[in-house]
Amino acid sequence: MPACPRTGTNKGVKAGTVKSNASEEGRDTVPVPGHFIIGLGRGIGGALLFALPMQMTMEMWELGFSMDRWRLVLLLVVALPLLVGIAHKVGFEETFDLKEDLRDAFIAYGLGILTSALVLLLFRLLQPAMPASEILGKIAIQAVPSSIGALLGRSQLESAHQDSGNDDASYGGELLLMAVGALFLNLNMAPTEEMILISYKMTDWHALAVVALSLVLMHGFVYAVSFKGGHEIEPGTPQWHAFIRFTLPGYVIALLISLYALWTFGRLDNVGATPAIMAMIVLAFPGAIGAAAARLIL
C-alpha cells in the first residue's frame, strides 16, 4: 500500500503519544491496587462507550421481558468464553494464563452488570413495581454488550497499552479479533426494527449487491490494515491469498454473528429462509466493516 505510510499500528501510536509508567512497572510485578482501580475505571468507561447506544434503545428494554428465556440464558453463557478470549488479548492486566483470563472475564461481566443496572435505574427503566423477571432480564441482556465493552475499555482507553499479545497474533486470534469487531458494530443495530425493515424493502438483487459491497469493503480494510499493521500477511502475498484466508472467513464470521444476533432477538421466528438470509446480509454489512476494521477500532 503506497498510500499508507508505515507508521506502525494505531496501538503503537497510542502507546507512544501518552506514556504512563504504571503499566511498565506492573509488567513484571504483582499489579498494585491503584493500577487495578484505574483498570476498573477504564472498564466502566468502556462499558458505557460500548453499551450506551443499546441501553438507550427501546427494543432492548422490550427484549428484557419479551425475549425467550432460554435464548437469554444461552446468550449469557456464550458470552463467557468470548470474554475469556478477549481477555486473553486485552485484559485488565497483562494476562498469561487461563486463570487470569477467567478472572478478567468475570470482572468485566460484573462491571457490565453493574453499569447496566445503574444506567437503567437512572433512566427509570427499572422500577420496584416491575416483576423480578423483567428487571433481571433487562439488566442481563444489557450486561453482555457492557461486559464486552468493559474488556475493550482497556485497549480503547488505556493509553499505555502495549499489545504484546497481538504481535505474534495467531490465525485464530486474528479471527477472534474480527468476531469482536463484528460484534462491536453488530450488537448496536441488531435489536432495532430497522434491520428487518431494510431487508423487507430490498429485493434479492439489492441483497446480492450488499454482499458484493461488503466483501469489497472488507477486503480493502483487510488489505490496508494488514499491511499497515504488518501482521499475518507477508508482503508480496498475492491479493487473492489474503481474500481467501482473511476476507472470506471474516465475512462468514460477520454473517454467523448476525444470524445468531437476529435469532437471539427473536427476529427469525417463523421466518422463511430467504427473508432470514436477507436480514442476515443487512446486519452483516456493518458487521463486516467492524470485523475488517477490528485492528483499527480495537
Partner 1 sequence: MPDDTGSAKPSRKPLGRKAHWLEWATGLVSAALVLTMVGWLAWQAAGEEDGKPELVVQAGTFESTEGGHRIAFTIVNRGQRTAAAVPVTARLYDQDRLVEEREVTLDYVPALSSTSGALLFGTDPGTYRLDIRASGYEDP
The residue ranges that bind partner 1 (CB under 8 A) are 6-9, 12-17, 19, 24, 167-168, 171, 175, 193, 196-197, 200-201, 203-205, 207-208, 211, 215, 229-235, 241, 244-246, 248-249, 251-252, 255, 270-275, 277-278, 281
Q: Which is nearer to partner 1, 127 or 270 (CB)?
A: 270
Element (H, E) at 59: helix 58-66
Q: Which is nearer to partner 1, 51 or 294 (CB)?
A: 294
CB of 230 to partner 1, least distance (A): 5
Maximum C-alpha span of the chain: 64
CB of 179 to partner 1, least distance (A): 13
Q: Which is nearer to partner 1, 110 or 266 (CB)?
A: 266
* Grid cell digits, residue 2: 503506497
Q: Which is nearer to partner 1, 118 or 252 (CB)?
A: 252
CB of 78 to partner 1, least distance (A): 21
SS3 70: helix
Nearest to 51 by CA among 247, 191, 242, 200: 191
* Grid cell digits, residue 38: 484505574
Q: Which is nearer to partner 1, 85 or 112 (CB)?
A: 85
Residues 6+ apart with CB under 8 A from 138: 60, 61, 64, 65, 120, 125, 126
Q: How many CB atoms lie within 10 A of CB 241?
A: 12
3-state SS record for 193-233: HHHHHHHHHCCHHHHHHHHHHHHHHHHHHHHHHHHHHCCCC
Tally the C-alpha atoms within 13 A of residue 75's C-alpha that lie toward its C-beta: 28
Taking a C-beta distance cutoff of 8 angstroms, is the pair 282, 213 a contact? no
Q: Which is nearer to partner 1, 12 or 31 (CB)?
A: 12
CB of 5 to partner 1, least distance (A): 10
CB of 209 to partner 1, least distance (A): 10
CB of 163 to partner 1, least distance (A): 9
